[in-house]
Amino acid sequence: MRAVTAAWIAEAVGGTLAADPEAVVTAVEKDSRAVAPGCLYVAFVGERVDGHDFVPQAVAAGASLCLVSEPVDAPHVLVADVQAALGYLARAYLALLRAEGEITVIGITGSNGKTTTKDLLAQVLPDVVAPVGSFNNEIGMPLTVLRADAATRFLVLEMGASGLGHIAYLTSIAPLDVAVALTVGTAHMGEYASPDDVAVAKSEIVQGLVPGGVAVLNADDARVAPMAALAERAVMFGNGHGDVAASGVTTVKGRASFEVALADGTVLPRRTLALVGEHHATNALAALAVCLECALAPDDAWERVAAAGPVSAHRMAVTERPDGVTVIDDAYNASIESMRAALRALKLVADGGRTVAVLGEIRELGDASLAIHEQIGTEVVRLRIDRTIIVGEGARPAYIAAVREGSWGDEATYVDTIGEARALLEETLRQGDTVLVKASHGSGLWELADQLVGGVG
């Protein structure tokens, strides 16, 4: 973070300063355990923890200022709403960086693929700041903005939406030079009336462009492609068509391999992605399109995008254990679309070997939960997954649907707990098996993935 003073922060957030106006802030933290000298400590009040209780620890660790909603015995800026103030601070700070230098702000949204596309760009773009993990909401995104500094050329931001107006709020904090829309699916369907409402929410990212900004849009998604009408300029990417088009897609050990045809007639050579899963072709094309808009040389950008591997935990991470079992850990999050993609990747990675799918609940689906889990149960049977273990009451309809579709005996099993799933895997996994672990993060199934990768399972 570029150094700013306490007085500047107080003015930016419209707060009351109770500190030395010239005190210098060089970083922002919301966790008192992560505070270092020069930090602004942001005291959030959560459902279980009140950040104001940890002000003494933050100050002891070197915090030079605290952002609070109630007076504390420490140097602070007092505001009515800490979360809103964090947004004001990030907005003013980004405006300061724009005024003092050149920075390109890239926003990414989509029901699937945001974090993977962000991770690709973080590995390819120079002098880049990108979110840690999935910092894509009204707290995480401003914190990412505040990590940029005078040397930052590219700021990559994830923008999630669990309701209408969410992305519009995020782009009001960080107006975009490049807006990327990947997919419109069923993630967070519990917050929307229909997939069309999801599309409206995602389209807010295009409306958040600065004058002269460009939208990078998935031509293969029927709800994303029309967003081009909202943009001053749009670049389309897709399989076989668009300005950045994949050509001759095949798979090599579960990894997409293809050439790329550009709008000017250039054809970039066939490369095989380091990422596992044919669906990552979409994310790679999006990342490449962004790189081209950022003036990277096409051949170099394509080579680096293809070579970029997984970074964030629990996202299609493939581990080959010493005992000959291959684990695909995709347990960070889930939707019907990503579940289907992961199951197909399981088949491709297994390459004829025995397939085992350990599946948990997809959350935040609202009234659509029953039908979507039933679709998953049907899908595992139609894909001929050899062994399916459904974990947890929320995912039980997937098991019932699998049995109804034709998975009897040991082909489909339901267990209540992660511990039961682990015990069952210990009994059944053998050399040559490939096991997929997939669920929404809140199901906790990522713990099982950690155990399997660590050799415990």
For 171-190, write each residue's pLDDT tens digit: 999 999 999 999 997 655 55
292 to each of 35, 97, 243, 287, 299, how far by Cα in Å? 37, 23, 11, 9, 10
Give the tens place of pLDDT for each residue, 352-406.
999 999 999 999 888 889 999 999 999 999 999 999 999 999 999 999 999 999 8
pLDDT at 245 over 90: yes
**DSSP label of 125:** S
What pLDDT is stored for residue 308 in this prediction?
96
Domains of the chain, start order: 4-79 (3.40.1390.10), 102-307 (3.40.1190.10), 317-453 (3.90.190.20)
Q: What is the pLDDT of residue 195?
A: 80
According to DSSP, the β-strands at 412-415 and 434-438 are unpaired
Percent of the chain surpassing pLDDT 90? 86
**pLDDT beyond 50 at 199:** yes
Q: Where residue 191 falls among pLDDT bands split at 50, 70, 90?
A: low
Going 19 to 25 to 28 to 31, the CA torsion angle's sign is: negative
Q: Is the pLDDT of residue 302 over 90?
A: yes
pLDDT of amino acid 163: 86
Contacts of 265 (CB under 8 A, 6+ apart): none
* Banded pLDDT at 192 (limits 50, 70, 90): low
18-74, pLDDT tens digit by residue?
999 999 999 999 999 999 999 999 999 988 899 999 999 999 999 999 999 999 999
Q: At what angle do helices 369-382 and 336-350 cross, to 10 degrees?
A: 20
CA proximity to 106, closest of 250, 1, 210, 242: 210
With a cut of 50, say whether residue 456 has pLDDT above it. Answer: no
- What are the CA-CA distances from residue 433 to residues 134, 300, 314, 328 (Å)? 30, 37, 19, 11
pLDDT, averaged across the chain: 94
Percent of the residues in the chain that have a pLDDT greater than 70, as a whole number:
98
Angle at CA of residue 45, ends 11 and 83, nearest 5°: 35
Q: What is the pLDDT of residues 128-169, one digit of tens each?
A: 999 987 788 999 999 999 999 999 999 999 998 878 999 999
**What is the pLDDT at residue 457?**
39
pLDDT of residue 438: 96
